C-alpha cells in the first residue's frame, strides 16, 4: 500500500508564492518519478512539473521560470515552489508518482488526494 499526502495549498494574491509538499509512504522499493499535475474547473488535468530519479525535470510552458520542482535527499518527498502566481494558476494540484513497490519490473502510478490553490486578482 502506497500513499501520497499533499500539503501547502491555500489562497494567495496574484504575485504571491506558495510551496506544495507531497510525501510518499508505504511499501516502496524505488520511486522512478514524482511530479505535479493540476486541474482547473471545466478543464482537463495537465502536467505542471515532473522530476525523474535521475534528476531531470520537465515543466509546462505556462509555469517555466516561475515554478520549481525539487525532491528531498531521501527521494520520497517532492516540493513545488510556486512564485509569481497568477489567477490562471488556480486549480486543484495533484501529486503523482511512478513507484516500484518491490524489486522487479512492475511500476505503478499513484495519485494524491489533491490540494486546492486559489490565486486572487
The pLDDT of residue 75 is 82
Q: How far is residue 80's CA from residue 85's CA, in Å, rounded to a whole number?
A: 12
Write out the three cell numbers for 79: 516540493
| Three-class secondary structure of residue 62 per DSSP | helix
What is the chain's pLDDT, residue by residue, as a tens digit (121 residues)?
899 999 999 999 999 999 999 999 999 999 999 999 999 999 999 999 999 988 999 999 999 999 999 998 888 999 999 999 999 999 999 999 999 999 989 999 999 999 999 999 9
Amino acid at each position: 500500500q502506497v500513499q501520497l499526502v499533499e500539503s501547502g495549498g491555500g489562497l494567495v494574491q496574484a504575485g504571491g508564492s506558495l510551496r506544495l509538499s507531497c510525501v510518499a509512504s508505504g511499501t516502496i522499493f524505488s520511486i522512478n518519478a514524482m511530479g505535479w499535475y493540476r486541474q482547473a474547473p471545466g478543464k482537463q488535468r495537465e502536467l505542471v512539473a515532473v522530476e525523474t530519479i535521475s534528476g531531470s525535470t520537465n515543466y509546462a510552458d505556462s509555469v517555466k521560470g516561475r515554478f520549481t520542482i525539487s525532491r528531498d535527499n531521501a527521494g520520497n518527498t517532492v516540493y513545488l515552489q510556486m512564485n509569481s502566481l497568477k489567477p490562471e494558476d488556480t486549480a486543484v494540484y495533484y501529486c503523482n508518482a511512478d513507484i516500484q513497490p518491490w524489486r522487479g519490473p512492475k511500476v505503478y502510478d499513484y495519485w494524491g488526494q489533491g490540494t486546492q490553490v486559489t490565486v486572487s486578482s
